[in-house]
Amino acid sequence: MRGSDDRNLIFLYIFLAAGCVAIGTGITFALIALCAYYGINIMKNLWLLAIPPVASVTINVLLIELYKKLVKR
C-alpha cells in the first residue's frame, strides 16, 4: 500500500514541523528570559534573535534524518 505509506510520511512531517514550532517558541521565551535576567539589550544584539529559528530547524532536520535512519534498517 504505497498511498498509505505516503500519507503516514506526510503526517510525520507535519508532526515534526509542529514540534519544531513548539521547540522554537520555547527557545525564544528562554532566550528572552535569559536576556532579561542578565540585562542583555536585545536591540543592540539582534544576532541573538537568529538562535531560536536556527536551532529549531536544525533539531527538526536532525529528527527527520534520525527517523529515516531508524525506520529503514
Q: How confident is the model at residue 15 (pLDDT cuts 50, 70, 90)?
A: confident
Domain boundaries, the chain: 2-71
Percent of the chain with pLDDT over 70: 93
Whole-number Å distance between alpha carbons of 53 and 21: 9
Query: Residue 28 burial by CB count (10 A; 0-12/13-18/19+): exposed, middle or buried?
Result: middle
This prediction's pTM:
0.75
Whole-number Å distance between alpha carbons of 52 and 30: 9
Q: pLDDT tens digits, residue range 24-42? A: 999 999 999 999 999 999 9
